[in-house]
Chain A
Amino acid sequence: MEDGGLGASSDGELARRVAARDGGAPEAEAELCRRLGRRVRLYGLRHLRDAAAADDLVQDVLVLTLERLRSGRVREPDRLASFVLGACRLAVWNHRRGRRRREALLDRFSGVFPRQAEPDSVLLDRSRLRDCLARLAERERSVLVLTFYAEEPSGAIAARVGLSPDNVRTVRHRAFDRLRRCVQGSDA
Chain B
Amino acid sequence: MSAPCRSPVSDDTLLDWWGGELPPPERARLEKHLLSCEACSVRAFASSRLVEGVRDLVRRGDLPAVVLPSVVELLRREGRRIREYRVAPGRGVQCTVGPDDDVVLARLSADLRDVRRLDLVSRVDDGAEHRLSDLPFDPSTDEVILAPSADVLRARPVHVERMRLLAVGPEGDRLLGEYTFNHSPWPGNR
Contact = CB atoms under 8 A, between A and B. Distances in A.
Interface of A: 8, 11, 35-36, 38-43, 45-46, 49, 51, 80-82, 84-85, 88, 103, 106, 110, 113, 115-116, 118-119, 122-124, 126, 129-130, 133-134, 137-139, 141-154, 160-162, 169, 172-173, 176-177, 179-180, 183
B39 to A, nearest CB: 11
A124 B50 contact: yes
13 contacts: A49-B55, A81-B33, A84-B35, A129-B57, A133-B57, A133-B63, A137-B133, A142-B68, A147-B18, A148-B18, A154-B21, A160-B136, A162-B136
A180 B79 CA distance: 29
Interface string B50-82: 111111111110111111101100100111110
A42 B79 contact: no
Nearest to B67: A145
A123 B49 contact: yes
Nearest to B115: A162
Interface residues of B, number: 62
A177 B45 CA distance: 15
A39 B41 CA distance: 6
A126 B56 contact: yes
B129 interface: no
Contacts of B53: 122-124, 126, 129
A51 B78 contact: no
Contact of A115 (B17, B51, B81, B135): B81
